[in-house]
Amino acid sequence: MGLDIRNTVLEYLKKQQDNNLSDFVNYLKKSSNEGKLNHNSIRRVVLQRFQENDRSAVFFGSLLLQMDNEDIYTILNEKS
């Protein structure tokens, strides 16, 4: 995983935390805590958010899809 992607993801999560977390990030964290988060579930929710014209979620989801599942779990759990 590239350091730039990790830093961008962490920066996004910090901004969202300051904004009481978006529904998208909450969904990801809930799925992560339930052990149900993987690339296919991220793709589905990104597609749904794309259809809802949520550019921020699409951008963030696209970054997550470049990461390994283990890295995604780690980052989301660090920032819970």
5-51 pLDDT tens trace: 989 998 888 887 766 557 888 888 899 889 899 999 999 999 999 99
Neighbours of 41 (CB within 10 A): 14
When pLDDT is averaged across residues 51-67 and rounded to a whole number, the result is 91
Comparing C-alpha atoms, which of 30, 37, 43 is closest to residue 80?
30
Say if residues 24 and 54 touch (Cβ distance below 8 Å): yes
What residues make up the domain containing 24? 3-78
Comparing C-alpha atoms, which of 24, 33, 8, 9 is closest to residue 57?
24
Structurally, the chain folds into a number of domains equal to 1
Provide the pLDDT for residue 1.
Answer: 52
Say if residues 29 and 80 touch (Cβ distance below 8 Å): yes
